[in-house]
Structure 1
């Protein structure tokens, strides 16, 4: 502190030294890293096939790891429950017609066209699955997560849970007449259908 300066006021030198403390440096660095990672994720949005291929590679690496170690079944079970939850969000409409009184999905050909909007978008679905498998893979390197369990019971319970959940979801889709996939749906690309009069 300079002579004659009040004790409660910081000088310019003191402010510059405070702005370069380890905490602010780490905060600045983590912000830059997260910004670059988000930029990379944004650039992958249009490449749906390549993203899912990368996700399948991550899944395969995790499966091989669990198979070779012959353990960490409780992590795999938790991962399966989480994936089931993501799948339900991916197959469900954003606005549930069961609890919403507003405009519903079209049920007749004369109804206004409303595209199916998912509760969990495809990109977030892919990102959540990939991130979950990466976290589970890292957890397999810590023996504290290797809880000894009889894995056939966990597998049976998961299959029963999957069947019951999907049956409820399919009955919901039939009741409110929506299909969460665009495969086989009529597309409108602006081209006119060929006229039968022009052939005469």
Structure 2
């Protein structure tokens, strides 16, 4: 069965070119997947360049603040489990009022930690946000005059309060979102 080719109209040409660019972009993303450290170093350098731009230009504090809030939201989604134990605990509350937690005995079900926001999507969204913020820092319309120390203090307070809440949640439901320090097993070890 033959497929009808799209006529060569300006819209058809634009669609074909945009599809080609999307495939090339996706291929680059796919190739970068195994290089976690290099990806994050690149994003950190881009973030440093953005902050250097804000510092040298002495402006665009609202853009930097919005980026900080967005990155904080991404980080919280990265730390949060996909299946929230607090909602599971409400569903599985025992008759005696005790709350179910992660398994501690051999016969209990093991549920691995699955992030609400996977690492690659976290990196991709963060990198895209830094790039958009950097571009916004070159347009005067985004340079809204504001007293920046207030924004810094407000962001720090927001960071401290949300991280305290997240850490309390992690302690209460006994999960660790990082693999640092966890045992790793080789193929040969039993």
Q: TM-score range by the shorter chain?
A: 0.7 to 0.9
The Cα offsets for residues 130-186 of structure 1, whole Å up to 9 and x where unpaired, read as: 110000000011100000000000111110011110011001001110000011112
Relative to the length of structure 1, the TM-score reads 0.83
Structure 2: distance between partners of 1:34 and 1:117: 28
Which residue in 1 is equivalent to 2:17?
29
Report 1:179-198 matches (<5 A).
Answer: 179-192=176-189
SS at match of 1:95: coil
Report 1:107-186 matches (<5 A).
Answer: 107-110=103-106, 111-186=108-183
Contact 2:60 2:137 in 1 (8 A): yes
The Cα offsets for residues 59-117 of structure 1, whole Å up to 9 and x where unpaired, read as: 11111111111000000011111011001000000111112347x86331423433211
SS at match of 2:121: helix
Change (3 A) 1:165 1:105: same
Q: Give the C-alpha shift of residue 28 in structure 1.
A: 0.8
Contact 1:73 1:149 in 2 (8 A): yes
User: Which stretches in structure 2 are left out of the alignment for 5+ residues?
Assistant: 93-99
Which residue in 2 is equivalent to 1:95?
83
User: Which stretches in structure 1 are left out of the alignment for 5+ residues?
Assistant: 1-14, 194-200
Which residue in 2 is equivalent to 1:81?
69
Relative to the length of structure 2, the TM-score reads 0.87
Q: 1:57 aligned to 2:45?
A: yes
Structure 1: distance between partners of 2:124 and 2:105: 35
Structure 1: distance between partners of 2:72 and 2:189: 42
Deviates most, 110-119 or 32-41 = 110-119
Change (3 A) 1:134 1:181: same
Contact 1:75 1:145 in 2 (8 A): yes
Q: 1:44 aligned to 2:32?
A: yes
Q: CA RMSD in A?
A: 1.8
Larger radius of gyration: 1
